[in-house]
Amino acid sequence: TQLLEQSPQFLSIQEGENLTVYCNSSSVFSSLQWYRQEPGEGPVLLVTVVTGGEVKKLKRLTFQFGDARKDSSLHITAAQPGDTGLYLCAATSGTYKYIFGTGTRLKVLA
Amino acid sequence: SAVISQKPSRDICQRGTSLTIQCQVDSQVTMMFWYRQQPGQSLTLIATANQGSEATYESGFVIDKFPISRPNLTFSTLTVSNMSPEDSSIYLCSVTSGGNEQFFGPGTRLTVL
């Protein structure tokens, strides 16, 4: 069974701080995605990475796919209260089905 | 992109009853999926809803418990049958339309007493 472990599970930080969330597996994936989910809503896609070592930036968010395509990280610079939410990684080995990570619940305090 | 609506948004049900959740998409889509998200946890895929044929269920989920219909390319239903408190979860519909991006509905929050 493929597993995607995220760390940390919970994170509470002050506005303006930086943070990194990790998504790790022992399996190789062809594609990995990061989502953010807010209470009462479905997850919203932030980014898709497909190439080992790939780095993508979305404003203050930086996403990296590991060289071996087994892991990924999400770095947020100068976090804001609007970044609060549940962050989920999801990955596929080439089929249409994605498995989701265990989730990281982020709270940014003003 | 695709805009997805789900009905009901939430419900409280008695043990032993069944609830049907509807998922409506504003455009024709290739794939439709149903997920379960238990309180404070991540998403688990229940099944892929196939248009015109039986749904494809993941390990641990069976048709008798979670019957699914998909009569056309924009609509699907998931029924949670003979409910128990362990079925209390958020049920999410998602779609893809050729690319690898999934769009999710807002979810249905189910509480079983």
Distance CA B91, CA B46 (A): 9
**Record: contact A96-B96, CB cut-off 8 A:** yes
Query: Which residues of chain B have a CB within 8 Å of the CB of A92?
Result: 100
Q: What is the 3-class SS of B3-70, one letter each residue?
A: CEEEECCEEEECCCCCEEEEEEECCCCCEEEEEEECCCCCEEEEEEECCCCCCEECCCCCCCCCCEEE
B4 touches chain A (CB under 8 A): yes
- Nearest beta carbon to residue B43 from set A40, A44, A88: A88
**Record: contact B104-A42, CB cut-off 8 A:** yes
Contact A86, A103 (CB under 8 A): yes
Average pLDDT over residues B2-14: 95
Chain-centre distance of CA B20, in angstroms? 9
pLDDT surpassing 70 at residue A1:
no
Instruction: Give the closest-approach CA distance of B33 to chain A in angstroms.
Output: 9
pLDDT for residue B16 = 97
**Record: contact B42-A88, CB cut-off 8 A:** yes
**Record: contact A43-B104, CB cut-off 8 A:** yes
Q: Which pLDDT tens digit goes with each residue over A6-58?
A: 999 999 999 999 999 999 999 999 999 999 999 889 999 999 999 999 999 99
Distance CA A102, CA B101 (A): 19
> Best residue in A93, A97, A104, A107 to probe B by mutation, most B CBs within 10 Å?
A97
- Torsion-angle region of B71 (φ positive above 0: left; ψ -120 to 50: alpha; else: beta): alpha
Cβ neighbours of residue B58 closer than 8 Å, sequence gap 6 or more? B44, B45, B46, B47
Q: Which pLDDT tens digit goes with each residue over B40-89?
A: 789 999 999 988 888 999 999 999 999 999 999 999 999 999 999 999 99
B43 touches chain A (CB under 8 A): yes
